[in-house]
Structure 1
Amino acid sequence: MNSPALELTNLHKRYGRNVAVDSISLAVEPGTVFGLIGPNGAGKTTTLRMLLDIIRPSGGSARVLGEDPRVGGAALRRRIGYVPGELRMEGRVTGARLLEFYARVSGPVAPGRISGLADRLGCDLSRPVRTLSKGNKQKLGLIQAFMHDPPLLVLDEPTSGLDPLMQREFLGLVREARANGQTVLLSSHVLSEIQQAADKVAVLSAGSIVASGPVDALRLSALRRVRAVLAGTNADEVRVALAPLAPASPPQVDARDGRVVAHVDIEGDIDGLVKTLARFHVAELVIEEPDLEESVLRLYGTTAKEVD
């Protein structure tokens, strides 16, 4: 059996009286995509920085590609592709020149690899870095992480600033990395991103792991928020029809401009909701996931600290 690509044992980080990461333990198998999710302030970024020896833990231990990150040094870091949560890129050099520099630091990059990634992500490498938007700087960050095909990718909020098309392209890159035997540790507060990319996931809140396991086994998508605009009816009739669908959270129903606007939170299967709404004339219908913080609070009854 292969050794874990990442292994955390009672990893702990304290800033004075404030505990940012509270004795977490987990293992990530080689060639898998592991999602680390949680609301802002849950401790995700602190955990990743300890794995990369950017900060030192207050207690516990970590193994990264079989090595202690505190002693692995530059040789270990060259085997890792990293996108930080707060990516800062400035300077008068072009994107191409900056990536050439990163290539010399990280190790061999296959011919055409950089230009191929730039084409896929729609990144103009001829422009000075300081003139780029947040989204285009994020694309440069992704290119430098993926370009040398490292055995481990550590990606902290990697799609920040990217449009939906580029987010889809990023997910394609993650799937290709997994198929290539690379391990990906993906931190995000975007639930759908994790669900599409990850094999396993750990939910982090207030510095502790509150749930972990295969993505399909966790009830992370059980809650949906529905907004329906209905015509030819009244608020009381809609309220009575929707009430049995969400007994724990009564629907909010208001009459506006001759129409009825209903907001209701549904857990699990939405078939009953669809059949109920079919009684009315549906002018608009929006079904969305709540933000991840609300999902964690609702599903796991936890609270988040303001440290990450």
Structure 2
Amino acid sequence: MKKVTWGVLSTAKIGREKVIPAMQKGQWSQVGAIASRSLDAAQKVATELGIPKAYGSYEELLADPEIEAIYNPLPNDQHVPWTLAAARAGKHVLCEKPFSMNAQEAEQLREVAGQVHIMEAFMVRFHPQWQRARELVRSGALGELRTVQAFFSYFNRQSDNIRNRADVGGGALYDIGCYAIVAGRFLFEAEPLRVITLIDRDPEFQTDRTTSAMLDFGGGRRLDFTVSTQSVPFQRVQAIGTKQRLELVIPFNAPLGGTTDLLLDDGSQIGGVSARRETLPACDMYTLQGDAFSQAVRGETPLPYGLDDAICNMRIIDALFKSDQSGQWEQV
């Protein structure tokens, strides 16, 4: 089967360093062009990464008839406008997270729903570590899954960093809280009914630098998480059931091309010393994500996650921000 030819909007770091090299290794994906508002910048990256074509505008890339799918790693406030433009041009779109600034903005893409494939780029959902974790939950190995707990943090106070700009969607909840939300939705295979949150904002940037939240999935099930852009780097996801506890080690930034681990603990010894380690094979989750999307473009498999999934994630984020203002539980 002919590989799907991708175009990339912008020379963003995540594209240069992670996504493009990974997709170039794919069985179903190839990167045919990259665009920047600076032709020199686009040509420089194209030369470094061996991309055949470079464009000095996004419009030129979208007009290229050889490009079938677009990867959109632009700043958060530009996700919907350029995803919509690409879809109108007949291109399938893999858009970086968070999908939009709010659910209402994401709803604009209903206009092109059904015409092209659109998916939010949560690469973790394609990693064997996450797939195995959900398999264990489904099998009943944990008993009844009651609680998912997540922590994700890094330290960044650079004033010129886009993650510290509130006007374009910076802050902990948008940048990494979305991963914690997806972890709960992925493992419970359900949607939260209501949420409550506590936010601490940076006095200079006005972004949320530490956000904690509880999401009620009904039936006694809940997701608890804390994310921070100004704490020591750390990440963990735990799924706690009536029989066993499952821990995903390095769940969000798993080493590309390296093995990953799950820990299972039945609580028989204090301190988790009884935990059993399960090692998952080496992979690149960005390669797996690109190939899964490309296979859907070729009609080989259904698209695993679509527009409705992305809009649902934004509704949850909207409710969390609303809860910060009201100080109360908010319905999703």
TM, length-normalised to structure 2: 0.28
User: Which is bigger in relative contact order (C-alpha 8 A, separation at least 6)?
Assistant: 1
- Larger gyration radius, structure 1 or structure 2: 1
